[in-house]
Structure 1
Amino acid sequence: MTALDPLYRRHRFPADIIAHAVWLYIRFPLSLRMVEDMLAARGILVSHQTVRLWAEKFGRSFANEIHRRSSGQFGDKWHLDEAVISIRGKKHWLWRAVDENGFVLEVLVQSRRNAKAAKRLMRKLLKSHGRAPRVMVTDKLRSYGAAKREIMPGVEHRSHKGLNNRAENSHQPVRRRERIMKGSKSPRHLQRFVSIHDPIANLFNIPRHDISSSHHRELRAATMSMWAEIARI
């Protein structure tokens, strides 16, 4: 079935190898050369540049399909946060929104930390999800309040540092990747990566607390089955 799939047409390597390489790179905090070495250990000789091209092409396709399938399934309590990130010595801000279950709703790389940047994030959220949240939770940054009054005036806004751990913790995977890759090349490069990484991370966001080991294994097996379906392998 995969040999005839248009997605993998004109590619020398089989679909399952390509999908596995993309899964390794996106799912775990690995560098491109680490993925190259892991594939080489199994006798699969492919350059790290090829892995990068696979991640950009096929990762985008997988992320779009995951986003399409998850439409309307996110919670109505949105946590918004921003984290500083250095790109070629210049300060940028990684704006992120997650729901109450930790699923990433939107991520934007911006050069400003002001009301205009907050408005851009909120507009993108509304366009992507087609509805406003019941509650919006942020830290004490005043830009959120100013943007909310204009973009989502009827939404309840809770502004408190201690209430926003959910969004702050969601930055950790990108922070780990940043250390592995020794920074990002450009804002565009980082935006492209997170727009692929976060939908796939949502798919593998399997709860570990308050469930039994057997239930966790069942959820993991179901997630891997869905991944195989999305990757068409």
Structure 2
Amino acid sequence: MESTSPSYSGHRYPVEVISHCVWLYFRFPLSFREVEELMLQRGVVVSYETVRRWCLKFGQTYADALRRRQPRTGDKWHLDEVFIKVNGERKYLWRAVDQDGNVLDILVQGRRDKAAARRFLRRLLKRTRAVPRVIVTDKLRSYGAAHREVMPSVEHRSHKGLNNRAENSHQPTRQRERAMKGFRSAGAAQRFLSAFSGISPHFRPRRHMMAATGYRAEMTVRFAIWEQVTGAAGPPTAA
């Protein structure tokens, strides 16, 4: 699927530098200052505040472009929720992935009751424009109550052991949460995790199922897709 590259009008740094900084931040558990240091080692002088603005401006755009290039959404959805700390308060991160591990959507909410589950299911249907054959959840009763209202014709399987796909999908988020020492606000968490869930999985193929040559070939393809969606010709060179 072809898409128009983001506009970099008004930016004095080349697209290769901007996209590389955004890639570093969302792919690895790095702070903005650490990205600044890595770029300085390569001879590119850019402030951490500039990196922050780039990630805020382009992160979601890149993530959306990568999602548009994903294969057709699977018909088996795994839903799960996990608590996160936002400014010292407990919030819940709701996540849905399909049977292939593709992240369908995430949503930060303050509760995990029926209303929260219903809101997430309706958001999923709207964003994916698809109806699954089956949804798989843990034993949280909120899912069953919301399922009967929003998608009663869809099969619902509720079992703790069946939902490892969604639970495993939370692991990179946990890693970033620790590196960032939590999130400052629910809005900031939603913005970061929405972009993160679109960019990070693109560079995390199921390596344990690939030989080394196959993994390198797959990553070459994925880097080429990244360059296409960002409009970059390649990695930045030392200034």
Q: Same fold (TM over 0.5)?
A: yes
Q: Deviations over 1:40-89 (max 9, x none)?
A: 1111111111111101111122112122233x612111000000111112
Match of 1:227 in 2: 226
Q: Distance in 2 between matches of 1:219 and 1:11?
A: 32
In structure 1, C-alpha distance between the alignment counterparts of 2:164 and 2:185, rounded to whole Å: 27
Is 2:6–2:61's contact at 8 Å kept on the other side of the alignment? no
Contact 2:96 2:105 (C-alpha < 8 Å) held by counterparts: yes
Contact 2:6–2:230 (CA under 8 A) maintained in structure 1: no
Structure 1 residue aligned with 2:84? 85
Opposite residue 25 of structure 1, the aligned amino acid is Y
- Unpaired segments ≥5 residues, structure 2: 233-239
Aligned residue runs from structure 1 range 1-233, under 5 A: 7-70=7-70, 73-233=72-232
Q: What SS does the corresponding residue of 1:83 show, helix, strand or coil? A: strand
CA shift at 1:145, angstroms? 0.3
Q: Deviations over 1:103-159 (max 9, x none)?
A: 111100000110100011111110011121111000000000000000010111111
Q: CA deviation at 1:6?
A: 6.6
Structure 2 Cα separation of the partners of residues 151 and 80 of structure 1? 14
Structure 1 Cα separation of the partners of residues 188 and 124 of structure 2: 21
**Greater relative contact order (Cα 8 A, min sep 6): structure 1 or 2?**
2
Q: Aligned pair in 2 of structure 1 residues 185, 134: CA closer, same or farther (>3 Å)?
A: same
Structure 1 counterpart of 2:237: none
Question: What SS does the aligned partner of 2:184 have?
Answer: coil
2:30 counterpart SS class? coil
What's the CA shift for 1:216? 1.2
In 2, the alpha carbon distance for the partners of 1:212 and 1:89 equals 43
CA distance in 2, matches of 1:155, 1:12: 51
3-state secondary structure, aligned to 1:128: helix
1:118 counterpart letter in structure 2: A
Instruction: Tell me the matched-pair count.
Output: 228
Identity %: 52
Structure 1's unaligned 5+ residue stretches are none
TM (norm. structure 1) is 0.94
Distance in 1 between the 2:209 and 2:183 partners?
36
Given that 1:103 and 1:205 are in contact with CA atoms closer than 8 Å, whether structure 2 keeps it comes out as: no
What is the CA RMSD across the aligned residues, in angstroms? 1.3
